[in-house]
Structure 1
Amino acid sequence: MGNDISLTRIAACHVSPVFLSAKDTTLKAISLIHEAAGNKANLVVFPESYIPAFPIWSALRAPTENHDFFKRMATESIYADGEEVNAIRAAAKQFGVLVSLGFSEKVRYSSATLFNSNVLIGSDGEILVHHRKLMPTFYEKLTWAPGDGHGLQVAETKFGKVGVLICGENTNPLALYTMTAQGEQIHISTWPAVWPTRLPHGAAPDSPVIENNKSDAKTSRSSVARGADYDNVSANRTRAAAHCFEAKCFGVLCAGVLGEDAIALSSSGSSEPEVVAQGLERLPRGATMFLDTTGTLLPGFTLNPKTSDKVQRDFLQKEEGILYADVDLEDCIEGKQYHDLAGGYQRLDVFELKVDRRRRQPATFK
């Protein structure tokens, strides 16, 4: 199905879940879909593992302290064909919008195997793509199992050719090229609110500058040597911008927000509750933003709920909200004159990529 419109309005929901509550977070998601659709959005995007939460406790607490957290995560994770996803599908159909939803997925063949998943739901309520993150990153392996290639698909919709990759797999050049090779026009990358790599100490740093690409190499090197916090804002933008430039597609970076309930619950019961709580308060927050087809920051806007007036915002970081952008899909064309990496600028006689899309099952019964 080809595009019958040129402009697409994207709504990136920079929001927190109701921490570890699938039911309440689903209700919140539906209300946000309602709001975005009322503001003429065509595509509504939610962060990584929005339902029921991102397992930040695994980064800051010893695994032996987290049995109850894992049990609750397994209980509150949802089935891809379960009532929560079905409720989101019904909302997508009711309001005629595409919805990209990150969630922690449980499966019926196990009581504890979970996947970091995302579904792209069509405006008719049907699931277009069901993706499981190829490889959980670092401490995420304590919660999620590796996924498969089944969801490495770009959905061709009337609002554009849309693809989704989750967090760290946006670092994988083969996964990114797989999306490019399907003519992707809008690339969604989803991220957590924070991504701790150590227990931070000392005063909270200033929020990373994301309006431009200024950096001091000497400062950067010394910060790494001291053991600096992971700069997920720069890391996320670098990966997404590279893909937008190479694929000549628009980028939607949608990060979560760390709620006070997440901080309180994640620190309670820890052997060092104050250290965990202070660490979470101190960590730099992820940012939600848009990029154009050259990888350059594309200013978005929020909408005044009373007047519907636009307020230009380059990004959302600390506070909750919905960031909007209107994109012209025809802008994906010009750059392909220079570098069409899956077409006229590729050497298909030299390189060959094979992608296995089989959905893996624990056993085959005949």
Structure 2
Amino acid sequence: MENLPRFTAAAVQASPVYLDAAATVDKAVSLIHEAAGNGASLIVFPEVFVPGYPYWNWTMNPVQGSPWFERLQRSSVDVPGPHVDTLRAAARQAGATIVIGVNERAAHSLGVLYNTLLTIGADGELLGVHRKLVPTWAEKLTWTGGDGSSLRVHRTRIGPLGVLACGENTNTLARFTLLAQGELVHAASYIALPVAPEDYDMADAIALRTAAHSFEGKVYSVVACSTISPEIVEQIAGDDPDVRKLLARPRSALSGIFGPDGRPVTEPLVDDEGIVYAEIDLAKCIQPKQMHDIVGHYNRFDIFRLQVDNRPRSPLTLTAVEGDEPAPATLKEEA
């Protein structure tokens, strides 16, 4: 690692075109080209940016929210699929590494959606599909948890890159798993959360988590959070003044770039739409690691051991019996 990368990172803070995957992907492509035009080689988008976050889980009971789940399922993303292809093409055209959150439909069940982070290389290759391990609180009404197979650090042009979604950045063992694979750049994607308890400041929470990971691991963190547009308020709240007031709560979003000392490299953006840019110089991770390297000399691996099951999990395992006719690879559709 003689020549550690030095580059510009961009953290996108924006709203989706709510529950419209195609229009949101178009918006993402426009933002990719804007950020790349300003010199960004890494562009990080919010959690489930395509096509948005299920706020109804927090404002309605499960019966009222069920039709909204169907709307989300119908406008979610297939991986692989045409929306992913569009994002891959945009990354290739921009020459930038992209991290973007999507609602991913499962191939095997209409009832399964994943909160997924896509990592796309600057050449357009789909490097990673990370499914959020544990949906947070009310999110369990919408998403199925992923498995450990996607807890991987990707070797990219901008350095060793790892990603986690929102509350996963509170999970010490998940973060350590990435750090122990040599992560130097961490992408953290969030959603604006005005529906949290009254004493919960989401902007402060995001900053605290991001600073903690950067300081503990001596890495750079790029954190991107969504915003809540008037369109989202209109759809979710309707004529309910209490829900309207709730969704308008300030300090619900924060995006920015944090350095290996745990401090913001530049002023974070709170609540408003925009893109935060900052220069990242991975050589600045070296000296801090001499003091505290929790995946190296500042640990006791004779005492502590983390075992991660990174096997992909499938709902079905078929075991062939000798003499059985093999099942057809595909089923023909009826004419």
Q: 1:290 aligns with which of 251, 257, 260?
A: 257
1:244 aligns with 2:214: yes
Q: Secondary structure at the match of 2:222?
A: strand
Query: Could you tell me which of 341, 344, 353 is aligned with 2:294?
Result: 341
SS of aligned partner of 2:87: helix
CA shift, 1:318, in A, is 2.8
In the alignment, which residue of structure 1 is the partner of 2:75? 76
Task: Render the CA deviation track for 1:259-303: whole Å, top value 9, x for unaligned.
Answer: 1110000113xxx7221112111253211111110111211xxxx
Q: 1:4: Cα distance to partner?
A: 5.2
Give the Cα separation in 1 of the matches to 2:303 and 2:145.
30
Structure 1 residues 80-134: Cα deviation after superposition (integer angstroms, max 9, x where no partner) = 2011111101111122110001011111101120011101111111111210011
Indicate whether 1:364 and 2:334 are aligned: no
| Pairing of 1:15-164 with structure 2 (within 5 A) | 15-164=14-163
Q: Is the 8 A contact 1:37 1:97 kept in 2?
A: yes
Separation in 2, partners of 1:111, 1:187? 32
The alpha-carbon deviation at position 38 of structure 1 amounts to 1.2
5+ residue gaps, structure 2: 320-335
Larger displacement relative to structure 2 (340-349 or 330-339): 340-349
CA shift, 1:235, in A, is 1.4
1:350 to 281, 295, 303: 303
Equivalences for residues 260-279 of structure 1 within 5 A: 260-268=230-238, 273-279=240-246
Deviations 1:185-208 (A, max 9, x none): 11111110224135xxxxxxxxxx
Q: Write the distance in 2 (CA, Å) between the matches of 1:3 and 1:340.
A: 19
Q: What is the TM-score with the length of structure 2 in the denominator?
A: 0.92
How many residues get paired?
319
Taking structure 1 as the reference length, the TM-score comes to 0.84
Question: Does residue 326 of structure 1 match 2:276?
Answer: no
> Match for residue 173 of structure 1?
172
1:131–1:152 CA contact under 8 A, matched in 2: yes
Tell me, yes or no, if structure 1 residue 258 matches structure 2 residue 228. Answer: yes
Correspondence for 1:304 = none
Give the match's secondary structure for 1:324. Answer: strand
* Partner-residue secondary structure (3-state), 1:66: helix
Task: Measure, in 2, the Cα distance between the counterparts of 1:154 and 1:326.
Answer: 21
In the alignment, which residue of structure 1 is the partner of 2:268? 315
Instruction: State the shift of 1:229 in Å.
Output: 3.7
Cα distance in 2 for residues equivalent to 1:246 and 1:234: 18
How far apart in 1 are the matches of 2:194 and 2:2?
Answer: 37
Tell me how far 1:327 sits from its aligned partner.
0.8
Secondary structure in structure 1 of the residue aligned to 2:90: helix
SS at match of 1:86: helix
Q: Could you tell me whether the CA contact under 8 Å between 2:11 and 2:45 is conserved in 1?
A: yes
Task: Look up the equivalent residue of 2:234 and give its one-letter code.
Answer: A
Q: Deviations over 1:321-355 (max 9, x none)?
A: 11111110101101111111111112111111111
Secondary structure at the counterpart of residue 215 of structure 2: helix
Moved more, 61-70 or 132-141: 61-70
- What code does the residue aligned with 1:345 have? Y
Conservation of the 8 A alpha-carbon contact between 1:229 and 1:283: no
Report the AA paired with residue 316 of structure 1: L
Q: Is the 8 A contact 2:4 2:283 kept in 1?
A: no
User: Deviation per CA, 1:232-258, whole angstroms, max 9, x where unpaired?
Assistant: 111121122111111100111111011
Q: Distance in 2 between matches of 1:3 and 1:323?
A: 28
1: distance between equivalents of 2:65 and 2:2? Answer: 48
The residue identity in structure 2 corresponding to 1:257 is T
Q: Which residue matches 1:305?
A: none
CA contact (8 A) 1:170 1:176 kept: yes
What SS does the corresponding residue of 1:350 show, helix, strand or coil? Answer: coil
Aligned partners of 1:322 and 1:351: how far apart in 2?
Answer: 40
* 91 and 4 in structure 1: CA distance in 2 versus 1, 3 angstrom threshold: farther
Cα deviation for residue 3 of structure 1 reads: 7.7
